[in-house]
């Protein structure tokens, strides 16, 4: 196999860093560019100063540099139609078209597909009028689950434990709308442990990836506000083969087939944010991309060639994947205040002493210094023969990192340790 492929990865967070590292292990990949990347990614790829929503900039770069494949990470880029624009120029791109990415960007579209094709999920109703929404919610049992219908970086969901909280959320999303044009989906509350099932999908073909579990709440014990994710691990022992097979058949395959039937075939990563209820696995949400921070613990387990998998999906070919039995557990170091407001620019010391894997989520280089430049800053991933060992390894590495404005959860993976 020739090592001659040039790849462009679009993105700048930890997920993007994990994608870059997985591509760097491929025997076919000669050169990796990243737009725009970050201080950590710069060690594994050549970063180019093109923003993730700069559609023309991305297309021109891919054309001028004879890029064989562009991998599009962030939802904002997908929703902007980066994949459509690349394909219109005859360039290969891994990621869904703007139309197919609506499975993530529109909660209502996702719900309609699930309802029509029999994918298990919570019953729902959509509203754009405050009075009608409030009338519905106040006559339903609590907790009330209220979701803003649009991209809101994981922060557009309120699980209201009281009617006051539910009313305030509806007011915020439909009347004051700090998010944009207001429309909400109100759905039944589902109970059980959550897990993330990411699958590479190409039309009707599904190539499952290893299971992971994310931790959405900011603080230990699943307390505090929802975040983009504070840590993750893989494998997930409580997801048996049987549950996985049900999720694959009834959730991912049905959704992939449904999207084909609707004339919007999906190509890329279909991420099922699932919950294991007493009646079996159900969908909380779909994403149209790799999850962050799940990707940082899933892709390191992929033993087979990642580029081959991506290319197979883009070309609609079969592909076998091989996975390691090792366990990976990653802990996010976030800026104090996240997911609310936080300060940037604090120096991170001690990174040179870390021997395990560190994924940069929001960092910036300033001369020889590495500074914080985001809410989620670093993800430290430990590896072991089981999750307890991986947890100990991650914690030992975190102890070497010195930055007073960073905090992290200490109970990642607790349910499985």
Contact residues for ligand AMP, defined by CB under 6 A: 122, 145, 147, 154, 157, 159, 187, 189-190, 194, 216, 226, 273, 284-285
What is the smallest separation between the CB atom of 278 and ligand AMP, expressed in angstroms?
Answer: 13
What is the smallest separation between the CB atom of 192 and ligand AMP, expressed in angstroms?
Answer: 9
Answer yes or no whether residue 104 interacts with ligand GLY by CB under 6 A.
Answer: no
The partner in contact with residue 287, picked from ligand AMP, ligand GLY, none with C-beta cut-offs of 5 to 8 angstroms by kind, is ligand GLY
Q: Which of 229, 235, 375, 413 binds ligand GLY (CB under 6 A)?
A: 229
CA-closest candidate to residue 299, choices 265, 332, 276, 330: 330
Answer yes or no whether residue 105 interacts with ligand GLY by CB under 6 A.
Answer: no
Whose Cβ is closer to ligand GLY: residue 28's or residue 213's? Answer: 213
Whose Cβ is closer to ligand AMP: residue 157's or residue 351's? Answer: 157
Distance CA(295)–CA(15), nearest Å, equals 6
Contact 320, 303 (CB under 8 A): no
Whose Cβ is closer to ligand GLY: residue 127's or residue 359's? Answer: 359
- Residue 73 has phi, psi (to 5 degrees) of -85, -60
Whose Cβ is closer to ligand GLY: residue 33's or residue 286's? Answer: 286
Answer yes or no whether residue 73 interacts with ligand GLY by CB under 6 A.
Answer: no
Answer yes or no whether residue 339 interacts with ligand GLY by CB under 6 A.
Answer: no
CA-closest candidate to residue 284, choices 404, 121, 410: 121
Answer yes or no whether residue 250 interacts with ligand GLY by CB under 6 A.
Answer: no
What is the smallest separation between the CB atom of 176 and ligand GLY, expressed in angstroms?
Answer: 25
Whose Cβ is closer to ligand GLY: residue 62's or residue 122's? Answer: 122
State the CB neighbour count (10 A cutoff) for residue 219: 15
Q: How far lies 360's CA from each of 293, 325, 338, 345, in Å? A: 11, 25, 16, 14
CA-closest candidate to residue 17, choices 281, 312, 300, 351: 300
The partner in contact with residue 226, picked from ligand AMP, ligand GLY, none with C-beta cut-offs of 5 to 8 angstroms by kind, is ligand AMP
What is the smallest separation between the CB atom of 260 and ligand GLY, expressed in angstroms?
Answer: 24
Q: Residue count at the site for ligand GLY (CB under 6 A)?
A: 7
Residues in 115-174 that interact with ligand GLY by CB under 6 A:
154
Contact 181, 106 (CB under 8 A): no
The partner in contact with residue 84, picked from ligand AMP, ligand GLY, none with C-beta cut-offs of 5 to 8 angstroms by kind, is none
Edge-to-edge strand ranges of the sheet holding 267-277: 205-208, 194-202, 267-277, 280-287
Question: How remote is the C-alpha of 34 from its chain's centroid?
Answer: 18
Residues in 178-217 that interact with ligand GLY by CB under 6 A:
214
The partner in contact with residue 383, picked from ligand AMP, ligand GLY, none with C-beta cut-offs of 5 to 8 angstroms by kind, is none
Q: How far lies 345's CA from each of 270, 366, 374, 398, in Å? A: 34, 9, 9, 19
DSSP string, 21-50: HHHHT-TTEEEEEEEE--TTGGGTSEE---
- Residue 180 has phi, psi (to 5 degrees) of 140, -150
Return all residues near 158 (Cβ < 8 A) that are at least 6 apart: 145, 146, 147, 165, 166, 169
Whose Cβ is closer to ligand GLY: residue 311's or residue 413's? Answer: 413
The partner in contact with residue 294, picked from ligand AMP, ligand GLY, none with C-beta cut-offs of 5 to 8 angstroms by kind, is ligand GLY
Residues in 282-301 that interact with ligand GLY by CB under 6 A:
287, 291-292, 294
Whose Cβ is closer to ligand GLY: residue 283's or residue 312's? Answer: 283
Distance CA(245)–CA(43), nearest Å, equals 38
Whose Cβ is closer to ligand GLY: residue 155's or residue 344's? Answer: 155
Eight-state DSSP code of residue 162: S
Number of helices (H) and strands (E) in the chain: give both, helices first. 13, 24
Residue nearest to ligand AMP (CB): 285
Whose Cβ is closer to ligand AMP: residue 32's or residue 284's? Answer: 284
The partner in contact with residue 235, picked from ligand GLY, ligand AMP, none with C-beta cut-offs of 5 to 8 angstroms by kind, is none
- Residues near ligand GLY (CB under 6 A): 154, 214, 229, 287, 291-292, 294
């Amino acid at each position: 196999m020739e090592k001659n492929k040039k790849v462009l990865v679009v993105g700048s967070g930890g997920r993007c860093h994990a994608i870059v590292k997985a591509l760097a292990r491929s025997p076919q990949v000669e050169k990796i560019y990243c737009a725009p990347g970050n201080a950590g990614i710069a060690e594994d790829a050549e970063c180019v100063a093109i923003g993730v929503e700069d559609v023309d900039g991305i297309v021109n770069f891919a054309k001028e540099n004879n890029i064989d494949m562009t991998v599009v990470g962030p939802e904002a880029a997908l929703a902007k139609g980066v994949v459509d624009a690349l394909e219109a120029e005859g360039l290969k791109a891994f990621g869904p078209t703007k139309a197919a990415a609506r499975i993530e960007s529109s909660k209502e579209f996702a719900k309609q597909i699930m309802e029509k094709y029999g994918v298990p999920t919570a019953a729902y109703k959509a509203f754009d009028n405050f009075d009608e929404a409030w009338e519905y919610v106040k006559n339903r049992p609590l907790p009330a689950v209220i979701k803003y219908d649009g991209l809101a970086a994981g922060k557009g969901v309120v699980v209201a434990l009281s009617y006051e909280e539910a009313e305030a959320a509806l007011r915020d999303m439909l009347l004051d709308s700090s998010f944009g044009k207001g429309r909400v989906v109100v759905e039944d509350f589902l109970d059980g442990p959550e897990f993330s099932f990411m699958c590479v999908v190409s039309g009707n073909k599904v190539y499952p990836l290893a299971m992971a579990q994310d931790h959405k709440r900011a603080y230990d014990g699943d307390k505090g506000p929802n975040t983009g994710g504070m840590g993750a691990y893989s494998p997930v022992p409580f997801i048996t083969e049987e549950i996985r097979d049900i999720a694959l058949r009834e959730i991912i395959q049905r959704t992939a087939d449904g999207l084909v039937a609707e004339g919007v075939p999906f190509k890329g990563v279909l991420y099922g944010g699932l919950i294991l209820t007493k009646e079996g696995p159900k969908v909380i949400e779909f994403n149209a991309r790799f999850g962050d921070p799940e990707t940082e613990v899933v892709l390191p387990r992929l033993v087979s060639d990642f580029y081959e998998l991506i290319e197979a999906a883009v070309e609609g070919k079969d592909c076998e994947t091989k996975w390691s039995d090792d366990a990976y557990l990653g802990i996010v170091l976030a800026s104090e205040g996240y997911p609310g407001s936080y300060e940037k620019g604090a120096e991170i010391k001690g990174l040179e002493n870390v021997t395990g894997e560190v994924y940069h989520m929001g960092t910036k280089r300033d001369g020889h210094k590495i500074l914080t430049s985001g809410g989620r800053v670093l993800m430290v991933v430990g590896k072991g023969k089981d999750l307890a060992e991986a947890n100990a390894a991650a914690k030992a590495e975190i102890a070497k990192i010195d930055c007073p404005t960073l905090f992290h959860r200490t109970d990642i993976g607790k349910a499985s340790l």
